[in-house]
Structure 1
Amino acid sequence: MDDRIRIGISACLAGQPVRYDGSAAKAEHLTGTLAKYLDFHPVCPEVGCGMGVPREAVRLVGTPENPRLVGNRTGRDWTATMRDWAGPALDELEKQRLCGFIFKAKSPSSGLSRVKVYAEDGGQPVSYAGVGLFASLVTERFPLLPVEDDGRLHDVGLRANFIERIFVEHRWHQLADQGLTMKALIDFHTRHKMLVRAHDVAGYRELGKLVADGKHLGLDALARQYHERLAKALALKPTVRKNVDVLMHAMGYFKKQLSPDEKQECLEIIDNYRNELVPLIVPVTLLNHYVRKYDDAYLRGQYYLNPHPLDLKLRNHA
């Protein structure tokens, strides 16, 4: 990548001691190797809106559809205060041109899902389907932004999918910065075809049709619709079946060059991946070898074969 990728992150996950009790919750599984490639923009909405450190813990009260942010002990309602603070804060996030956001799981301000919501009279939670107040404002303002929470990102597959998405979003920003043209958009689409296909076959077809019909839409409308459909497609996780489909498709580009032994070896390794005997990195490495050996220009440009730096090891367990 030409420059580091900027993403938002709950400040406590970045190691800042901003939790209600003055502690941090540094997410080493996110801020370790990834720090070589990402610039983290830390945000603590509770401190930002004036709660201070240490502070009274807060929780969501009411219903999952319309919760209020309320102090556990005093019952002070922070909802309007946080909403007022969030307006300028979201404007600042827009200026940062983030490529993703990692939230603190289950936080009443920053949790993306599974946040406890309490009844007005306290007691036991009435729902575990709440969304943190600030997180809901971020996703409403930036609906195409790749977002996850630190809890879900312990899952290797979810982490790989999220990181793949932020790298694609970064390349989309670069496309816009370099000056969007029809030629540049077609090149972007061409290089991401196999990657998208591994996530969403229907999305892969729809994006192809969208680009083919693009001259009738106008460049601005095309770019907007393309980005929306791309984000929707990449939000779906790749599966073994979809990856096998892409691997077989890629192998087809070498049908005239591969010797019988090479073809058999490739089929066996793809089948081993299909049966979950080897991780995805194994057939991908073999295909990259054939790309270099036979100098296939189309596959050489496919981000599917090199979606992110190898030292992240995101395909070593898939």
Structure 2
Amino acid sequence: MSEKIPVGISACLLGDSVRFDGGHKRCAFAAEDLAPFMRYEPVCPEMAIGLPTPRPALRLTETAENSVELCFSNGKGDPLTQEMQSFSEKKIASLHHLCGYIVCAKSPSCGMERVRVYQPENNNNRKEGVGIFTRELMKQMPWLPVEEDGRLHDPVLRENFVERIYTLHEFNQLWRSGLTRGKLIAFHSRYKLTLLAHSQPEYREIGRFVAAIEQWPSLEAFAFEYRQRLMDLLKHKATRGNHTNVMMHVQGYFRPQLNAKQREELTSLIDHYRQGLQPLLAPMTLLKHYMSEYPDPYLTQQRYFEPYPEALRLRYGH
């Protein structure tokens, strides 16, 4: 998984001066930490439909018919809703190779959630909107990991997002290499511990789905459905409780080889993680040590132990 991964991003988050005020909203995590691993495809929808910078700010405005229009906040000019919608539909149709997208929060074109929707006659608003470009993005590609720059400050959301990007990238590589039942089942097997850490009920549900692969006359149709279920499952944040259960399960593989003191040390470290006294990295490092000492074919192939490059340091702090 060394090749750079194609990821879309709002151009302002890379430091491009494309915002309405002539500035940018550079996101350090995207522009510095993630950049060595991603091949970014930046887009500024507002510039793309021909608006200059600087320019009057845009806003989502509710109409008398309960629809939402993209208008200039100064009340001048015609709504730009149709231009933005047409651009979004055409542009996103060419982006289905992407494995993730980082959008600019609060933007009327790019915001993912809680974008202000204004009343037409005053400044009253409610935080219930979605940017027009991002709404179309999530409509056309419901499996795609999409995250806002502000939410990436949260270490749990950040790790979850990056993990989903790498998972989708591997799945897309598999698809391009030619679908077979064997490849799909092997892929699912590699992700079993990962899925278990995210949701035990959905882990069991997707397991039953994969077990019925022979009933699907079209492997491509199966792959479309599997991809959606896989990415929906991974949206659930992996919890301390689920990680603890997974690591205790893995610990069982080494019981015959470990002496009483080693077993006690590992159990204690996992429990300290469960209590929030240690980061996930601590018990994970000891488990990986025992995996190298006592290799097991099933554990060795599990993406759970290395879901993304260690250099991203995403498991260090929680």
TM-score, normalization: structure 1?
Answer: 0.96
State, as a whole percentage, how many aligned pairs show the same letter. Answer: 41
Question: Counterpart amino acid of 2:47?
Answer: V
SS at match of 1:31: helix
Measured after TM superposition, the shift of residue 91 of structure 1 is 2.1
Q: Which runs of 4+ in 1 moved over 3 A?
A: none
CA distance in 2, matches of 1:170, 1:243: 23
CA distance in 1, matches of 2:168, 2:38: 13
Q: What does residue 87 of structure 2 align with?
A: 85
Deviates more, 1:247-256 or 1:232-241: 247-256
Question: Counterpart amino acid of 1:84?
Answer: S
Measured after TM superposition, the shift of residue 92 of structure 1 is 2.2
Measured after TM superposition, the shift of residue 66 of structure 1 is 3.3
- Determine if contact 2:110/2:130 at 8 Å carries over to the other structure: yes
CA distance in 2, matches of 1:18, 1:132: 16
CA distance in 2, matches of 1:234, 1:66: 33
Measured after TM superposition, the shift of residue 209 of structure 1 is 1.1
Q: What does residue 187 of structure 1 align with?
A: 186
Measured after TM superposition, the shift of residue 220 of structure 1 is 2.3
Matches within 5 A, 1:1-318: 1-62=1-62, 66-73=67-74, 74-94=76-96, 97-125=97-125, 127-218=126-217, 219-318=219-318
- The superposition leaves residues 240-264 of structure 1 with CA deviations (integer Å, 9 ceiling, x where unpaired) of 0011011111111112112111111
Question: Counterpart amino acid of 1:315?
Answer: R
- Determine if contact 1:10/1:102 at 8 Å carries over to the other structure: yes
- The superposition leaves residues 36-88 of structure 1 with CA deviations (integer Å, 9 ceiling, x where unpaired) of 1111110101001111211111100007x732100011153010111122232
- Determine if contact 1:203/1:230 at 8 Å carries over to the other structure: no
CA distance in 2, matches of 1:29, 1:149: 12
- Determine if contact 2:105/2:112 at 8 Å carries over to the other structure: yes
- The superposition leaves residues 107-151 of structure 1 with CA deviations (integer Å, 9 ceiling, x where unpaired) of 1110001111101113221x1111111110111111110001001
CA distance in 1, matches of 2:95, 2:285: 38
Unaligned stretches of 5+ residues in structure 2: none
CA distance in 1, matches of 2:69, 2:278: 48
Question: Counterpart amino acid of 1:226?
Answer: Y
CA distance in 1, matches of 2:221, 2:14: 37
Deviates more, 1:305-314 or 1:66-75: 66-75
TM-score, normalization: structure 2?
Answer: 0.96
> How many equivalent residue pairs?
314
- Determine if contact 1:101/1:146 at 8 Å carries over to the other structure: yes
Measured after TM superposition, the shift of residue 226 of structure 1 is 1.3
CA distance in 2, matches of 1:212, 1:134: 37
- Determine if contact 1:34/1:312 at 8 Å carries over to the other structure: yes
Question: Counterpart amino acid of 1:146?
Answer: P
Unaligned stretches of 5+ residues in structure 1: none
CA RMSD of aligned residues (A): 1.2
Question: Counterpart amino acid of 1:295?
Answer: P
CA distance in 1, matches of 2:304, 2:94: 33
- Determine if contact 2:273/2:280 at 8 Å carries over to the other structure: yes
